[in-house]
Amino acid sequence: MGLLKGGINEIIATTANNAAPIGIHYREQTARMILFLGSHTAENIERDGWVVANFVHDPILYVKSAFGDLSREAFVEEPVAGHQMHRLREAEAWIAFSATIENKTSEALVVRLTPEREIMEGAFIQPINRGFNSIIDATVHATRYIRNRDAELKKLIDYHAGIIRKCGGKREIEALNLLMSYIE
Ligand SMILES: Cc1cc2nc3c(=O)[nH]c(=O)nc-3n(C[C@H](O)[C@H](O)[C@H](O)COP(=O)(O)O)c2cc1C
């Protein structure tokens, strides 16, 4: 698996007609997801036994897939390991995994991922942009904030909003406006 780096890889996970940003924990050659119960991603993986990790650099896709639904046209079917897996049409690269449940608690699933296919669709060298990185951080905090309205989380979101406004391009600013519309 050449694309995953040691640590947590923030990708967009696709399951049957669904997409959501999820972290892949990659340590000692083993890839896992920790999924909080109640998400479509957790439900679909438990039912179907597969997930695709999509590598994308569009900040709007991270926000949209975290809070809303993508249209059917956003997905492409890929026959892999006996499944019709779904990946994002916009993916710059993707890894299709078979997924097995290693552990299930009242709160979360631990899912072990076995790579079945890894494809680079194009070159994807991207300059580091703090605005983009802060979209990822702000979106993580926002997915928690909409559940508990914790004032500390709002402070973190506002901090990242400042960086996005200062360092982001048009697409990051648009993603920030979308994010704010979801949480207000
Ligand atoms: C960058 C990022 C990483 C995330 N990582 C995880 C994760 O590892 N596990 C998880 O359960 N949710 C994670 N989330 C939250 C889910 O994306 C969020 O709950 C989403 O609404 C689930 O959508 P779904 O119901 O379509 O699966 C993450 C969110 C972001 C923005």
Identify the band that residue 1 occupies on the pLDDT scale cut at 50, 70 and 90. Answer: low
Q: What is the pLDDT of residues 83-130, one digit of tens each?
A: 999 999 999 999 999 999 999 999 999 999 999 999 999 877 899 999
Candidate of 101, 143, 146, 176 to mutate for ligand 1, largest count of ligand atoms within 8 Å of Cβ = 143
Ligand 1 atom having least distance to the Cα of 139: 31
Structure tokens at 151: 């004032």
Fold match, 7-120 / 130-183: no
Residue 40 beta carbon below 6 angstroms from any ligand 1 atom: yes
Instruction: Supply the pTM of this predicted model.
Output: 0.97
- Does ligand 1 lie within 6 Å of residue 35's CB atom? yes
Q: Is 140 in the pocket of ligand 1 (CB under 6 A)?
A: yes
Give the pLDDT confidence of 60-80 residue by residue, as tens digits.
999 999 999 999 999 999 999
Q: Which top CATH class is 130-183?
A: mainly alpha
| pLDDT of the residue at 123 | 75
167 CA distance to ligand 1 middle (Å): 24
The minimum-distance atom of ligand 1 relative to the CA of 22 is: 5
The mean pLDDT of 160-171, rounded to a whole number, is 98
Class of domain 7-120: mainly beta
Domain segments of the chain: what residues? 7-120, 130-183
Task: Give the mean pLDDT of the chain.
Answer: 97
**What is the predicted pLDDT for the residue at 37?**
96
| Complete DSSP assignment for the chain | --S--SEEEEEEEEETTEEEEEEEEEETTEEEEEEETTSHHHHHHHHH-EEEEEE---HHHHHHHHHS---GGGEEEEEETTEEEEEETT-SEEEEEEEEEEEE-SSEEEEEEEEEEEEE-S-------HHHHHHHHHHHHHHHHHHH--HHHHHHHHHHHHHHHHH--HHHHHHHHHHHHHH-
Query: The tokens of 166 are what?
Result: 């200062």
Q: For residue 63, how far is its CA from the centre of ligand 1 (angstroms)?
A: 10
* Distance of CA 66 from the midpoint of ligand 1 (Å): 6
